[in-house]
Amino acid sequence: MKKYSEMSKGELSAVHGELNAKFGGYRKMGKKLNMTRGVPSDDQLALSDGMLTCLSAGDYKAANGADCRNYGGLDGIPEVKKIFADLLDLTQDEVVISGNSSLALMFDNVAVNMSHGVRDGEPWQKQGKVKFLCPSPGYDRHFTICNYFHIDMIPVEMGEDGPDMDFIEKAVSSDPMIKGIWCVPKYSNPTGIVYSEETVRRFARLKPAADDFRIYWDNAYAIHDLGGTYKTIPNIVRLCEEYGNPNMPYVFASFSKVSFAGAAISCIASSKSNCEYIKKRLTAQTIGPDKLSQLRHARFFKDAEGVMAHMKKHAEILRPKFKLVSDTLNRELGGLGIAAWTEPMGGYFVSLDALEGCAKRIVALCAEAGVALTPAGATYPNGNDPKDSNIRIAPTFPPLSELGEALEIFCDAVKLASVEKFLN
Amino acid sequence: MKKYSEMSKGELSAVHGELNAKFGGYRKMGKKLNMTRGVPSDDQLALSDGMLTCLSAGDYKAANGADCRNYGGLDGIPEVKKIFADLLDLTQDEVVISGNSSLALMFDNVAVNMSHGVRDGEPWQKQGKVKFLCPSPGYDRHFTICNYFHIDMIPVEMGEDGPDMDFIEKAVSSDPMIKGIWCVPKYSNPTGIVYSEETVRRFARLKPAADDFRIYWDNAYAIHDLGGTYKTIPNIVRLCEEYGNPNMPYVFASFSKVSFAGAAISCIASSKSNCEYIKKRLTAQTIGPDKLSQLRHARFFKDAEGVMAHMKKHAEILRPKFKLVSDTLNRELGGLGIAAWTEPMGGYFVSLDALEGCAKRIVALCAEAGVALTPAGATYPNGNDPKDSNIRIAPTFPPLSELGEALEIFCDAVKLASVEKFLN
């Protein structure tokens, strides 16, 4: 393979002509292929179909005797609290179970801290312009929440072991208006990296200038390994406790990519004391989450071990898709010097860095060819990737054959945009 | 029956001695009877047990082809939108379906207007001290929401046809910081009255000083009739449209007392334009409500007619309980001149007004005798019933026999507190 940077103008023109012709063809074919979002496939959903029918007519009582059909119970039935507590290695009074959307939990948690303050402290919104640190590339919906609440986002560079901790330590200890940071510590969205033990420890021993600084620890892929070695990350709640910051982390987890994406259960985990504050608000806010959905999860999975066994089935389905991404990118783009990408061992995404200034063009070319990708820039605060380089690939939803087609077109788009760059 | 007010001191003392002795007995019996909250009974929940099993393993697609197991769909599947739209006599783009708690919808709607303003206008919280009108006695959880958001509550007197509209018209048209009013227009909580057509029309043609004034129309008992004549109230959304206030009302409804109290679905209804604003926020806030729960409701009830037929079964169970309340109160308290009460044709409560200054004492006496009631004052803003007179009776949850026992003790408590008042 010859690097594009080492090609002559003539060689580049030849490649350009070839790729242009290919795209002419793609445009005519009118494909409809989708790699936009981290959505489970039909096969994965089918793994949990037993949950549709796992309750019989007389089965509606939780272990504590609660009638799951009726009112009552703000923080989850014991069976489900135990499953989450076991998976997160916490106690049951360190978890609060919620509805089907952990995103809604995060949104609500930011909302309450803005309007009512952390643990009844001075509301963030009354203190001045609130800022969040945003390791980038990151999860676009985290950034959307900040945008919604007019929170300034400070991008933080991501490395192989997590975000730039030197930067974070300095920023957090010097600026009391930095109130939060978004983290996806395991199989980070979109790069797929796993925070190292040292990174997690540095988080736990942060010395924030603001005593109402909080870590939003979105452990969305806590148990979403592709197989092989099961990665573990240190327990942020325990470590924060150990380093004298017991109330600093909010951990979020959900079964959206365990059972049914649209009808699962979610959880916020933190110190027991933080959980008490959360429950206090819930008393004014809601009659409590859907307990029958919780009971279905408890009956279907039985316990944390049942969940882990189930995740192996997800991995069986996902592994070939991630392998196809890796194989295709290596075969088509390897050695050309026009892109770098990650090869995650879990999670839902592959992240690709194209040449600077090429991401938007690649996404546009794909769109013309019928391949929908996450908008370029979406992985950065305010949709602004300063290098216009990062693209998030979401390979989970399409069947393998469609994924293959989409990846072929995608690689051609990366090549074409790169050639155009060299020719201009 | 001789009125207490016409009894001699001697007669009162005799009654007092008798009742005191009875309470001595009650205290020893250690009963545990509960009339605190509007909770459906086991019998009522059993009416919907078919919903536990109504989905088969292959049944997860909505009418629009959406896979209810997966992500997607912010405002409800078409089947459920149609059921709510038909029940509320609105179109499908005037309803947004939500999770299992309409209370959470109301809370969230107040939260967004406080922090982000009505329809992207100036946030309420930036305009000064926000005030809500609170027809009282009313629903304690409405008042709790106001308390949570530090909203001043202005009590408005309730009559037979709804709240005091003269007062409301004057207040709303003169004070731009009055931003909302809580209404339970049909079988009002707790008095059980139904707003008259004229009352509803006067609401629709309010001329608020604040263009971001909103009517919180909690139609919690829209179809919760006890049988007999089905009461209808005018369509507030249509009327507001007609009078040039199309975006003024937010209507809330839920199936909490139709299917399963803890695992139902809820709905906010308003102008199409308001619904667009609501959906805009949802995009940042959530992945959308649980669609499998929606599908279960659609399969089980089929359509609005199915829902109405189901409500007749609820009425069969509830009617004897409300009759027992009425019979007992009439038999025990009739003619004594110490209490007035309502005889609602639907809803979940009976409201009793004791002599001034007696409500707290009655609730305390009941507690000593093992009968739990809603705290006295709870039906007023800040828990403050200025006359200390109103008590909410919630007869739905206990089985008939227990309800009978509880009512006997309750009536004796009303008598004892009244006698005490006359003797002091």
Q: A244: distance to nearest CA of chain B, Å?
A: 30
CA atoms of B359 and A337, how far apart (whole Å): 81
| Cβ-contact B178, B152 below 8 angstroms | no
pLDDT digits (tens, 9 = 90+) for A141-167: 999 999 999 999 999 999 999 999 999
Note whether A281 contacts B125, CB cutoff 8 Å. Answer: no
- What value of ipTM does the predicted structure carry? 0.96
Per DSSP, what are the bridge partners of residue B135?
B156
pLDDT per residue over A85-143, tens digit each?
A: 999 999 999 999 999 999 999 999 999 999 999 999 999 999 999 999 999 999 999 99
For residue B49, give the amino acid letter: D
3-state secondary structure at position A211 = coil
Rounded CA gap, B410 and B413, in Å?
5
What is the distance between the alpha carbons of residues B254 and B269, in angstroms, rounded to a whole number? 11
Name the pTM for this structure: 0.96
Amino acid (one-letter) located at B383: G
Q: What is the pLDDT of residue B159?
A: 95
The letter for the amino acid at B32 is K
CB A39 within 8 A of CB B70: yes
Task: Tell me how far apart the 2 most distant CA atoms of chain A are, in Å.
Answer: 77
Q: What pLDDT score does B320 carry?
A: 97
Q: What is the mean pLDDT of chain B?
A: 96
Cβ contact, residue pair B262, A72, below 8 Å? yes
Q: Label residue A270 by pLDDT band (50, 70, 90).
A: very high
List the single residue in B52, B73, B284 with the smallest CB-CB distance to A144.
Answer: B284
d(CA B244, CA B241): 5
- pLDDT for residue B58: 93
Residue A37 tokens, joined: 């979002």
Task: Measure the CA–CA gap between A325 and A410, rounded to whole angstroms.
Answer: 10
* Average pLDDT of chain A to the nearest whole number: 96
Q: For the purposes of burial, counting CB atoms within 10 Å of the CB of A16, is it exposed (0-12), middle (13-18) or buried (19 or more)?
A: middle
Q: What is the mean predicted confidence (pLDDT) over B11-15?
A: 97
The whole-number pLDDT of residue A57 equals 86
The answer to whether B50 contacts A57, with C-beta atoms less than 8 Å apart, is yes
**pLDDT value, residue A231:** 77
Among A90, A142, A39, A17, CA closest to A348: A39
Given this model, what pLDDT does residue A299 score? 98
Q: Are B250 and B216 in contact (CB under 8 A)?
A: yes
For the residues of A268-326, what is the DSSP string, one character each?
A: EE--HHHHHHHHHHHHHH-S---HHHHHHHHHHH-SHHHHHHHHHHHHHHHHHHHHHHH
Burial of B210 (0-12, 13-18, 19+ CB in 10 A): buried
Q: Can you give the pLDDT at residue B227?
A: 86
Indicate the pLDDT class of residue B16, thresholds 50, 70 and 90.
Answer: very high
Q: Is the pLDDT of residue A228 over 90?
A: no
Residues of chain B with C-beta less than 8 angstroms from the C-beta of A68: 262-263
Distance from CA of B131 to the nearest CA of A (A): 17
* Distance from C-alpha of B256 to C-alpha of B47, rounded to nearest angstrom: 13
A183, containing H or E segment? strand A178-183
| Whether residue B231 has pLDDT greater than 80 | no
Q: What are phi and psi of B422, to 5 degrees?
A: -65, -30
* Min Cα separation A262/chain B (Å): 5
Reported as a single tens digit per residue, the pLDDT across A309-328 is: 999 999 999 999 999 999 99
Closest CA to A223 of A319, A392, A345: A345
CA distance A245 to chain B (A): 28
Q: Express as a percent the part of chain B with pLDDT over 70.
A: 100
CB distance A69–B261 less than 8 Å?
yes
d(CA A246, CA A249): 8
Residue closest to B217 by CA, chosen among B192, B253, B176, B247? B253
Task: Determine phi and psi for B391, rounding to 5 degrees.
Answer: -130, 135
A226-235, A352-361, B288-297: the lowest-pLDDT one: A226-235
Give the mean pLDDT of B362-368: 98
Of A52, A67, A69, Cβ closest to residue B60? A52
- Kind and range of the H or E run holding A126: helix A124-127
Q: Nearest Cβ partner of A284 from B69, B115, B148?
A: B148
pLDDT of residue B338: 98
Burial category of B7 from C-beta neighbours within 10 Å (exposed 0-12, middle 13-18, buried 19 and up): middle
With beta carbons under 8 A apart, name residues in chain B contacting A260.
69-70, 292
SS3 B364: helix
Residue B136: per-residue pLDDT: 97
**A400 near A320, Cβ under 8 Å?**
yes
Q: Give yes or no for residue B412 having a pLDDT over 80.
A: yes
Cβ distance of B290 and A293 shorter than 8 Å = yes
Residues of B in contact with A283 (CB under 8 A): 144
- The mean pLDDT value for B147-167 works out to 97
pLDDT at B382 over 90: yes
Pairing of strands A339-341, A350-354: antiparallel
**CA–CA distance, A423 with A99 (Å, rounded to integer):** 52
What mean pLDDT do residues B198-213 have? 98
Please state, as a whole number, how many other Cβ atoms lie within 10 Å of the Cβ of residue A408: 18
Please compute the mean of the pLDDT values over residues B322-330 and round it to a whole number. Answer: 98
Helices (H), B290-387: 291-301, 304-333, 359-368
Give the integer Cα–Cα distance in Å for B83 and A289.
Answer: 23
CB contact (8 A) between residue A285 and residue B48: no
Give A28→chain B minimum CA distance, Å: 27
CB A298: neighbour CB atoms within 10 A? 25
Helix axes A102-116 and A272-285, enclosed angle (nearest 10): 90
Instruction: Count CA atoms closer than 13 A to B183's CA, side-chain side.
Output: 29
* Secondary-structure breakdown of chain A: helix, strand, coil percentages, each rounded to the nearest 5: 45, 15, 40
Residue type, B298: A
Nearest CA among A360, A356, A377 for reference residue A368: A360
pLDDT of residue A227: 86
Band (pLDDT 50/70/90 cuts) for residue B213 is very high
Please, how many CA atoms are within 13 Å of residue B116, restricted to the half-sphere of its CB? 16
* CA atoms lying within 13 Å on the CB side of residue A10: 0
- Please judge whether A101 and B284 are an interchain contact, meaning their C-beta atoms are less than 8 angstroms apart: no
**Residue A1 reports pLDDT greater than 80:** no
Q: Which of B116, B144, B256 is closest, CB to CB, to A284?
A: B144
**Per-residue pLDDT band at A366 (split at 50, 70, 90):** very high
Instruction: Return the pLDDT at B164.
Output: 98
Residue of A287, A291, A297, A314 to mutate when probing chain B, most B C-beta within 10 A: A287
Chain CA centroid to CA A101, Å: 13
> Among partner residues A55, A148, A284, which is closest to B107 by beta-carbon distance?
A284
Residue B45 has pLDDT above 80, yes or no: yes
Answer yes or no: is pLDDT of A251 > 80.
Answer: yes
Pairing of strands A131-136, A178-183: parallel
Work out the pLDDT band at B232, boundaries 50, 70, 90: confident
Estimate the share of chain B in helix, then strand, then coil, as percent rounded to the nearest 5.
45, 15, 40
**Token pair in block for residue A233:** 């990350």
* Cα A51 to Cα A293: distance, rounded to the nearest angstrom: 9
Structure tokens at A340: 């770098």
Chain B residues with CB under 8 Å of A114 CB are 115
User: Given an 8 Å threshold on Cβ–Cβ distance, is A55 in contact with B52?
Assistant: yes
User: What sign has the CA pseudo-torsion B22, B27, B28, B32?
Assistant: positive
pLDDT at residue A194, rounded to an integer: 97
pLDDT top residue among B181 and B30: B181
Phi and psi angles of residue B333, each rounded to the nearest 5 degrees, phi first: -115, -15
